[in-house]
């Protein structure tokens, strides 16, 4: 694995702004100003007693945050695991207009020849991506994995070795990425695009790096910045939340959720959804979008804190049974 330098958003904020102003790099300046305002807001919240003391000191940079995170714990608590657990194939079909295997779509679109090369951007530990590069009907001669977290890439390397997938890994900041032209047959970016600040740059690099006839696919959050859900989303989510039985509204800390609220940015990763609203326009501008499925504008704020109540303590165990009431409610939520 190789290492490239990355900027810590928690240090040198004013110096960074001055440098960008001197360089007349107004696009990056706009992003950094938004970051600076965000950090200032956290300081004000601290002074007003809105943040616990342990939240107040310098927050981790994006790479430090993910190096220190328990990825399995993050994945365990995500509402997205519902589609892989008790709902299984039904949920996946409901989320993607009846499509049961995304690899069937990719195989139908991919028009490249020769040994296939793949790229997983923001790949983390590769758990969400490896299946796309090990499909028996679509073999790859080599795959690159890029991520900002050294710890995650160590796990990714172990996973690929165990699966027999030829792969190499690079620690890098996608916002400064320079990819070779016409190089990859398939580029995958799952659950990572919303952490990037230079959205247009990344989309342009993807377009440059794909071979003619190559395919890019992403599965990501494209909503409000810092997951600050709209008033309409919260209104609908709260109406439904009040209808759910108490045992399905219980948080991990044991307390029953009475109100669905916007998450406190202090509890998120530093770049969580920092420019998520720019993803779709950038992809439309730089790529020819063939399939696009929009969903979960209500499911995410509603289920994010309480999804373990639906799939139980061992949702990965396909023999685990969930009561029919919970399953029926969950199906209803996916149908809304």
The pLDDT score that the predictor gives to residue 12 is: 47
Select, from the ranges 42-46, 212-216, 308-312, the one with the highest average predicted confidence (pLDDT): 212-216
Beta-strand pair 117-121/142-147: parallel
State the pLDDT at residue 313.
42
The pLDDT score that the predictor gives to residue 292 is: 87
What percentage of the chain carries pLDDT values higher than 90? Answer: 39
* Over residues 263-280, mean pLDDT: 88
Q: Where are the alpha helices (H) located in the chain, listed in sequence order? A: 13-23, 26-47, 62-68, 71-76, 88-95, 102-109, 130-133, 150-163, 199-209, 231-243, 279-286, 299-303, 308-311, 324-335
DSSP code, position 164: T
Mean pLDDT is lowest, of 32-46, 121-135, 232-246, 262-276, for: 32-46
Residue with tokens 């395919």: 215
Per-residue pLDDT at 37:
56
User: 51-60, 64-73, 308-317: lowest mean pLDDT where?
Assistant: 51-60
Task: With a cut of 60, say whether residue 100 has pLDDT above it.
Answer: no
- Encoding tokens for residue 157? 């390397």
Q: What is the mean pLDDT of the chain?
A: 77
Please give the residue that has the higher pLDDT: either 50 or 129. 129
What is the pLDDT, as a whole number, of residue 258?
Answer: 95
- Per-residue confidence at 268, pLDDT binned at 50, 70, 90? confident
Confidence bin at 30 (pLDDT 50/70/90): low
Could you tell me which residue, 279 or 58, shows the higher pLDDT?
279
Q: How confident is the model at residue 44 (pLDDT cuts 50, 70, 90)?
A: very low
**183 or 148, which is more confident:** 183
Q: CB neighbours of 190 closer than 8 A, spacing ≥ 6?
A: 120, 122, 128, 129, 218, 219, 220
Structure tokens of 255?
Answer: 């307390």
Q: What is the pTM of this model?
A: 0.73
The residue whose two tokens read 């929009």 is 294
The pLDDT of residue 107 is above 90: no
For residue 11, what pLDDT is reported? 39
C-alpha distances out from residue 306 to 24, 28, 201, 266, Å: 46, 37, 36, 20
71-224+268-335: CATH architecture: 3-Layer(aba) Sandwich (3.40)
Among residues 200, 235, 218, which one has the least CA distance to residue 294? 218
pLDDT for the residue 73: 62
Q: Which of 231, 254, 240 is nearest to 303 (CA)?
A: 240
The pLDDT-based confidence of 113 (bands split at 50, 70, 90) is confident
- In a 3-state reduction of DSSP, which class is residue 141? coil
């Amino acid at each position: 694995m190789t290492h490239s330098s990355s900027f810590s958003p928690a240090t040198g904020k004013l110096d960074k702004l001055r440098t960008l102003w001197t360089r007349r790099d107004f696009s990056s300046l706009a992003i950094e100003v938004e970051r600076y305002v965000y950090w200032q807001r956290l300081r004000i919240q601290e002074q007003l007693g809105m943040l616990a003391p342990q939240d107040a000191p310098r927050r981790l940079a994006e790479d430090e945050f993910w190096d220190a995170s328990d990825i399995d714990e993050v994945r365990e608590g995500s509402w997205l695991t519902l589609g892989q657990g008790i709902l299984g194939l039904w949920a996946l079909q409901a989320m993607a207009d009846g499509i049961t295997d995304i690899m069937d779509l990719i195989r139908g679109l991919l028009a490249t020849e020769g040994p296939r090369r793949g790229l997983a951007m923001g790949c983390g530990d590769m758990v969400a991506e490896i299946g796309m590069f090990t499909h028996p009907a679509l073999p790859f001669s080599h795959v690159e994995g890029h991520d900002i977290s050294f710890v995650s890439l160590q796990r990714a390397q172990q996973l690929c070795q165990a699966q027999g997938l030829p792969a190499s890994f690079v620690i890098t900041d996608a916002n400064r990425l320079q990819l070779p032209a016409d190089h990859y047959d398939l580029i995958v970016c799952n659950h990572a695009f919303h952490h990037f600040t230079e959205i247009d740059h990344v989309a342009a690099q993807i377009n440059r790096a794909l071979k003619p006839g190559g395919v890019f696919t992403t599965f990501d959050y494209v909503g409000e910045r810092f997951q600050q859900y709209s008033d309409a989303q919260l209104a609908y989510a709260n109406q439904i939340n009040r209808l759910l039985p108490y045992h399905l509204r219980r948080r991990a800390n044991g307390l029953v959720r009475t109100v669905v609220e916007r998450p406190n940015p202090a509890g998120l990763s530093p770049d969580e959804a920092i420019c998520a609203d720019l993803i779709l326009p950038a992809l439309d501008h730089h790529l020819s979008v063939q399939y696009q499925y929009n969903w979960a504008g209500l499911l995410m704020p509603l289920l994010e804190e309480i999804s373990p109540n639906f799939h139980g303590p061992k949702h990965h165990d396909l023999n685990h049974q969930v009561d029919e009431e919970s399953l029926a409610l969950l199906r209803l939520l996916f149908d809304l």
